[in-house]
Structure 1
Amino acid sequence: MISASTLAALLALGHGVLGQQAGTSTAETHPPMSYQKCTTGGQCTTVNTNIVLDANWRWLHSTSGYTNCYTGNTFDQTLCPNNQACAANCALDGADYTGTYGIQASGNSVSLKLKQGNNIGSRVYLINGDKYELFKLKNQEFTFDVDVSGLGCGINGALYFVKMDADGGLAKYPTNKAGAKLGTGYCDAQCPRDLKFIAGKANVEGWKPSNGDANSGEGNTGSCCAEMDIWEANSISTALTPHACSTNGPCTGNTTCGSGDSRYDGYCDKDGCDLNPYRFGVQNFFGPGKTVNSNQKMTVVTQFITSDNTATGTLSAIRRIYVQNGKVIQQADTNIPGITKTNQITDKFCKEQKAVTGDPDEFSEKGGLAGFGKDLDAGMALVFSVWDDHTANMLWLDSTYPVGSNKVGAARGTCATTSGKPSDVESQQANAAVTFSNVKFGAIGSTYKST
């Protein structure tokens, strides 16, 4: 009798080229979402782009039929006895964006629903043709409108940038046959190990199904890269956070991936240098009915300042501005002993923040803003997502974390420390959704009206 592993190996050889395959069962049609490029003086032109769903959410089935390669949080051991065979035997397929995932996109907006049927959350990228649209942020500003009024405790409606390959890894990893058009190549500063495919191969080796998440697990490999969290938010709290990395690319095991007790040993700064107004002493600034009223749509402006005001200069500050009901609102100054009052992210702020909170200063160790700025030079891919948190219940964003701590910076929002459990979030906020719209990108001062 032939063993399952031998059968799978023979099937892999039968495909000729070993690689992450593209399926043909469901036609992939990328929903439209445009943005605007702006020049000094506020002259803006429309760029016609689309969105594409991340590969991790897609149906993964056998190339020779419709057998699931992945069900719940486990791989099929016949089709996926190892990373290479799984990549040859399995194909990613097209997506029903609205029906399966609750994603609505048209014009210049995209709306992401937390729960659609059995699907939870989503992650999409801006794509132009068959490549991700890359943004070079230095000496530029990035602006968008957002409505987080429908996001309660435990949900994160996020907009951010990551240092992904524009083609999703097609050129770098020849075994990747799906590419950006099917949402491959994701990476971020958390070095995620829950990705089913990394670097053109499956992540089945060492895969352990999650105890708390029926749809997820972790393999031996993670996918690391620099990350700029422009917007992590719900209606309670928001954070602006750059995450630097010493190495961009796959990691293996706890040490280089920074997993478990090795959090501060990995390639990337997982904590980042975050600016959350509530966390740093301004509790009346953001939230329902506050200075920036999260019950209403708002415009969010983020500026990337360089030392010489050029795109080749050293990144020296990251600034945040809001516009709401026609009023320009500057980010509030920090109000914490030990941190010099500031409303922007600078190396000084990052060092002082870590000193007063007692958190390891990984951001400075990995190069600070200057080092992070080098990762911005190649251009970064734009990500929109909505998710709940099976690891920490999103308490790090909107509650007190660690729970029970009275350290400076532990209080991050008004949510109860018992909130955010995914089972509660998904049952009580099943219709929660976030809408991003009116994205603009260009010269400093070009994407919003300052008066």
Structure 2
Amino acid sequence: MYKQVATAVSFASLVLGQQIGTLTPETHPSLPIEVCTAPGACTKEDTTVTLDANWRWTHATDGYTNCYTGNAWNETACPDGKTCAANCAIDGAEYEATYGITTPEEGALRLNFVTAENVGSRVYLMADDEKYRLFNLLNKEFTMDVDVSNLPCGLNGAVYFSEMDEDGGLSRFEGNKAGAKYGTGYCDSQCPRDIKFINGEANSEEWGGEDGNSGTGKYGTCCAEMDIWEANMDATAYTPHPCKVSEQTQCVDDIECGAGDHRYEGMCDRDGCDFNAFRLGNKEYYGPEKTVDTTKPFTLVTQFVTEDGTDTGALKSIHRFYVQDGVVIPNSETVVEGVDPVNYISDDFCEQQKTAFGDNNHFATIGGMAAMGKQLEKMVLVLSIWDDHAVYMNWLDSNYPTDADPTKPGVARGRCDPEAGVPETVEAAHPDAYVIYSNIKLGAINSTFTAA
């Protein structure tokens, strides 16, 4: 995964804070999941979702004055990060009206791309009203249905796991009074700097606006990330990203954050070890009317296989297959010179792929599958839809780098035009885009799906 800023989306003056506001009630939309021990032996959990704090309105605790407008902090309320957190309150969300987040049926979540002035969204699965639902993925499979039939080039319907705090940082950071209930404590392997509050303080130091509605600060927020599903109609990838740290951790400079020329010196493996069928040589596997036909829904299954077949064993490999129209579709095999014809991610696959593509194997430097496995024991589920202000999603669905020879192994990642993902273009052309996630299940290997 080559995205530069994982959360580079427009917020339209909808911003975050750390105190709790009382102007809008917070009611989490229902998104139940199932936990399975064997085929047909599944138990329902009454889980919900909460909106990420970065999308929420933040105002002065004593009224309606914005703490952040456009891409600028309110200097009176926010002379420094700690004072800002004390002065600003985060409020509840109007999920459907403001953000286009709906639950069209039980067990389904629809995320609309543009709703009025809001662009994109990110939500987290909740175990109860105060805590995120933690997942141990080792020796398990994670299954869900997806519908990307209305998700064009340049967009990303992303489902992934991040090693966030169960309570959103509420207990670790005294400045954070809102916690998981209000979607605080985000982190990922890109160590994003566009998160407005980190560790209970405003990220206002050295803040600069990238466009009219968002910006970045001095600090970033890092943790391991397992990308289950990054996709639109024309491209998809799944990617493990281990980190040197084992919990949400603030990075304080370019080196720690892995920014710019320091990409391979930071806390996390920002590239990851991706499996993208198109990039790996099978250009007819995924897309409209391809082997996996993206014009209609399908089930994706991801299995985390351990060396000894136990829930505490070392992670050996990550497998993927699909079920569509009752038929199990194996993942595509690699068709790249120098890479064994496999259809799963392992240390050997990553080493061969990185060598064939001329990429830095930072995945191995960080610790590879063993490191990723340790971090899969306490993950939070993230579901989102976003556009890319940094490199226009070219790392997923087009040629990247865009000035490289597309015939060179690893450059072509999909069929999309490199300009299709320019935010101004895709937001104007496809405001009605959306993605639907449904029927989420976690369970023992081969327990969560059925086929004809």
- Structure 1 length normalisation: TM-score? 0.94
Q: What is the aligned partner in structure 2 of residue 171 from structure 1?
A: 171
User: How far did 1:418 drift?
Assistant: 2.3
User: Corresponding residue for 1:181?
Assistant: 181
**For residues 342-381 of structure 1, what are the structure 2 equivalents within 5 Å?**
342-377=342-377, 379-381=378-380
How far apart, CA to CA, are the structure 1 residues paired with 2:439 and 2:339? 34
1:215 to 213, 216, 221: 213
Per the alignment, residue 236 of structure 1 pairs with 234
Amino acid at match of 2:69: T
- Separation in structure 2 between the aligned mates of residue 103 and residue 127 of structure 1, nearest angstrom: 16
Compare 248-257 and 155-164 and name the one that shifted more.
Answer: 248-257
1:101 alignment partner, one of 72, 90, 99: 99
Offset at residue 174 of structure 1 (A): 2.0
Q: Partner residue of 1:400?
A: 399
8 Å contact kept, 2:39–2:450: no
Equivalent residue letter for 2:379 = M
Q: Does 1:419 align with 2:420?
A: yes
Q: 1:166-192 deviations in whole A, cap 9, x for unaligned?
A: 100011112210000000000000000
C-alpha contact (below 8 Å) 1:147/1:296 kept by paired residues: yes
- Matched residues in 2 for 1:73 and 1:263: separation? 26
| Structure exhibiting the larger radius of gyration computed from Cα positions | 1
Pairing 1:247-286 to 2, within 5 Å after superposition: 247=245, 248=247, 249-286=249-286
Rounded to whole Å, the distance in 1 between the matches of 2:258 and 2:69 is: 27
1: CA distance, partners of 2:315 / 2:38: 20
Partner deviation per Cα, 1:234-255 (whole Å, 9 max, x = no partner): 0000000000111241101211
Q: Deviations over 1:246-272 (max 9, x none)?
A: 124110121100112211111111110
Matched residues in 1 for 2:76 and 2:257: separation? 28
Tell me by how many angstroms 1:450 deviates.
Answer: 4.9
In 2, Cα distance between the equivalents of 1:316 and 1:434?
31
Residue type of the alignment partner of 2:42? C
Deviation sequence 1:386-414 (CA, Å, 0-9, x none): 00000000010000000131231110000
1:446 matched residue in structure 2? 447
Separation (CA, whole Å) in 1 of partners of 2:39 and 2:91: 44
- 1:316 CA drift (Å): 0.3
Which residue matches 1:197?
A: 197
SS in 1 for 2:35: strand
- 8 Å Cα contact 2:58/2:68 also seen in 1: yes
> In the TM superposition, what is the alpha-carbon distance from 1:98 to its structure 2 partner?
0.2
- Amino acid corresponding to residue 122 of structure 2 in structure 1: R
What letter corresponds to residue 366 of structure 1 in structure 2? I
Question: How far apart are 1:40 and its partner, in Å?
Answer: 2.4
1:399 maps to a residue whose letter is S
Write the mapping of 1:114-133 to structure 2, written as runs, cut at 5 A: 114-129=113-128, 130-133=130-133
**Distance in 1 (alpha carbons) for counterparts of 2:39 and 2:101:** 34
Q: C-alpha distance in 2, partners of 1:347/1:128? A: 33
Q: 2: CA distance between counterparts of 1:256 and 1:215?
A: 26
Partner of 1:437: 438
Distance 2:212 2:342 in 1: 43
Equivalence for 2:55: 57
State the match for 1:11 in structure 2.
none
Q: Any idea what the Cα deviations from partners look like across 1:31-87, whole Å, max 9, x if unmatched? A: 111000000243011100111000000001000111000001111111111100000
1:261 counterpart SS class? helix
Q: Distance in 1 between matches of 2:370 and 2:212?
A: 40
Distance 2:78 2:209 in 1: 15
Cα distance in 1, alignment partners of residues 91 and 40 from structure 2? 41
CA contact (8 A) 1:42 1:445 kept: no
Alpha carbons 1:164, 1:185 under 8 Å: kept: yes
**In percent, how many aligned pairs have the same letter?**
53
Paired letter, 2:168 = G
The residue identity in structure 1 corresponding to 2:435 is V
Structure 1 counterpart of 2:10: none
Q: How many residues align?
A: 430
Give the Cα separation in 2 of the matches to 1:63 and 1:265. 40
The offset of 1:128, in angstroms, is 1.9
Between the aligned partners of 2:230 and 2:40, the Cα distance in structure 1 is 27
2: CA distance, partners of 1:58 / 1:368: 36
Structure 1: distance between partners of 2:181 and 2:22: 13
Runs of 4+ in 1 over 6 A off after TM superposition: none
Q: d(CA) in 2 for partners of 1:124 and 1:235? A: 21
**What is the aligned partner in structure 2 of residue 70 from structure 1?**
68
| Counterpart residue type for residue 145 of structure 1 | D
* CA RMSD of superposed structures (Å): 1.0
Letter in 1 for 2:409: V
The CA deviation string for residues 369-397 of structure 1, in whole angstroms up to 9 with x for no partner, is 001111112x1000000000000000100
Partner of residue 299, structure 2 = 299
Distance in 2, Cα, partners of 1:156 & 1:373: 25
Show the counterpart of 1:25.
Answer: 23
Distance 2:114 2:419 in 1: 21
Question: Match for residue 12 of structure 2?
Answer: none
